[in-house]
Amino acid sequence: MAGSLVTRGRSLLQRRDPTTALVDRVRALREAADACEGRVSPEAVDEAYRVGNQVDQRMALSGGATVVALAGATGSGKSSTFNALTGAELATVGVRRPTTSVSMAATWGPDAGEELLDWLQVRRRHVVETGSLTDAVALDGLVLLDLPDHDSTAAEHRTEVDRLVALVDVLVWVVDPQKYADAALHDRYLRPLAGHAAVMLVVLNQVDTLTSDARAACLRDLRRLLDAEGLERVEVLGVSAATGEGLDVLLRRLAHVVAGKRAAAERLAADVGRATDRLASASGTEPAPELSRRTVSTLDAQLGEAAGVPVVTRAVDQAWRLRGGLATGWPVLAWVARFKPDPLRRLRLGGGAKEIASPTGTSRTSLPARSGVQQARVDSALRTLADEASTGLTRGWSDAVRATTRSSSAGLSDALDTAVATTDLDLDRHRGWWGAVRVLQWVLFAGVLVGLGWLGAAFLLAYLQLPPLPKVTWWGFPAPTVLVVGGVVAGLLVAGLARIGVVVGAHRRARLARQRLLAAVSRVSAQQVVAPVRTELERYDAARSAILRARG
């Protein structure tokens, strides 16, 4: 016995309060609505906010009260059932035309607060006293409403029904043998409220007018209709407001609902579920697509082409060769080569920070404008990225991803130009050996000048018939000739050998420059295109996660 009590106590402690779960679901629903705003239909987002506000308001008002509404068509006996349950002639009964123009409330016990009825905007109220049919049943906390006829010809009656159907805790649909299959009831209310089966009850009134076989057939057919509409959990009762048959069973059902004090939470949970499903249908719950590295790499490659990376790479190669030739070539030829324009300086590149325009400049380089073919390839790569990022998304999210891609591409040209202009091409290092070769070339050139001077002096002395200079020979040749010819040949040979090193270095510098330029272009692509798209996908994923949590 003691062990059984302990087990029951533990189960009660571990049982989660339904209102706690409801609060968590409402919070998740609001998060989903915030994320979906501007991406899905405004109606679905507004409905999510409305349900969230409704939950807050309902849970703050008379938490111990349970609002049960009797709803039905004209002539179904709804008002008669209301009078029979309350034990008083409160509602006017009509058979052929609607007589309930405004809702009426009957309350049991002190828990049925006035604030709750004020929130429901129900003005006609009646407190049920002792001595009625309900004395034998504990109904403290019950608020019973008699709604206008849902098929009334008066539009304001139908509006009142729709408003309260969305607010009450439990719905009791009163039907009669003639119109229990009415399409207006099933299509407008029962089928759309299939998710609220736990807080609905269908009562077949006027069973006293049927034979036992006809009664069984009506109840069986009504059960079949409800099952076909996904309302298998909805209980069906047969009653007679005129004779009181079955009303005791109905009262016990209501008493059970009131005693459980879970109807409000269950109704609100069903509302949250319905709003969540609507938002999920509009937003989607498929996992967010991933951007493949291949797609991003293709975009980077096309942006690099459009940004002039190949042009700059060739210019780096040519500039390194030109500068290397000027530094290591034979001085005479190097002097002639100085008249050639520097490929990088012509593009306003590679000249250091002083030659980079200010950040407010609209153009930082003199690179040629991108061609139509290059622009078309960039546009194609952007479309491919947008298509991949929007695969499987609903229309609103897909449009948001595409709009993000288009807007982020607006300033790409200036950003790419800036990235190219500010990239360190590394042309001021790795050329220390040029200085040694330059010194050697000038030494050799000085030897040539000395030899030419020596030969010139010898010619002048001979012309003036003056004593000649002493004859000096090296390796069997006159020293001046060795200086001139040897200096020229050696200078050209050194220049040729140095040229090989310059060309190899040019290839390396061009390859490194291309890598750095593509890295700079990739950073621009990541910051201006890929990051905004991924942010949009993260927002979708946040909405999806919140929707799944709101479903419970």
> Which residue type is seen at 308?
G
Q: Would you say the C-alpha torsion 418, 420, 424, 427 has a positive or negative sign? A: negative
List the structure tokens of 480. Answer: 């001046």
The mean pLDDT values, 10 residues at a time, for the chain of 552 residues are 46 54 92 95 95 90 83 90 84 53 83 80 82 60 91 88 92 93 91 91 94 93 94 93 92 88 88 94 92 92 87 84 80 78 74 46 62 85 92 93 88 85 79 81 84 83 78 81 84 85 86 90 92 94 95 84
Sequence ranges of the domains in the chain: 64-260, 293-497+514-550
Predicted local confidence at residue 185, as pLDDT: 92
Q: For residue 98, what are the contacts with CB-CB under 8 A and spacing of at least 6? A: 74, 148, 149, 152, 153, 154, 157
Predicted local confidence at residue 6, as pLDDT: 45
Distances (CA, A) of 546 to 28, 30, 542, 552: 5, 8, 6, 10
Residue pair 69/147 in contact by the 8 Å Cβ criterion: yes
Q: What is the DSSP string of 295-312?
A: HHHHHHHHHHHHTTHHHH
Predicted local confidence at residue 13, as pLDDT: 39
Predicted local confidence at residue 12, as pLDDT: 41
Predicted local confidence at residue 476, as pLDDT: 77
Predicted local confidence at residue 26, as pLDDT: 94
Average model confidence (pLDDT) for the chain? 84
Question: Which helix (H) or strand (E) covers residue 265, if one does?
Answer: helix 263-283
Predicted local confidence at residue 361, as pLDDT: 44
3-state SS of 184-202 is: HHHHHHHCCCHHHHHHEEE
Helix axes 78-86, 247-260, angle to 10 degrees: 70
Helix axes 479-525, 432-463, angle to 10 degrees: 150
The SS3 of residue 465 is coil
Q: 64-260, which class in CATH?
A: alpha beta
Predicted local confidence at residue 15, as pLDDT: 46
Predicted local confidence at residue 350, as pLDDT: 63
Q: How many helices (H) and strands (E) does the chain have?
A: 20, 9
Q: Cα–Cα distance between 33 and 31 in angstroms, integer?
A: 5
| pTM for the predicted model, two decimal places | 0.76
Residue pair 81/203 in contact by the 8 Å Cβ criterion: yes
Predicted local confidence at residue 111, as pLDDT: 62
Q: Cα–Cα distance between 301 and 297 in angstroms, integer?
A: 6
φ, ψ of residue 300 in degrees (nearest 5): -60, -40
Dihedral of the alpha carbons of 40, 43, 46, 50, in degrees to the nearest 10:
-140
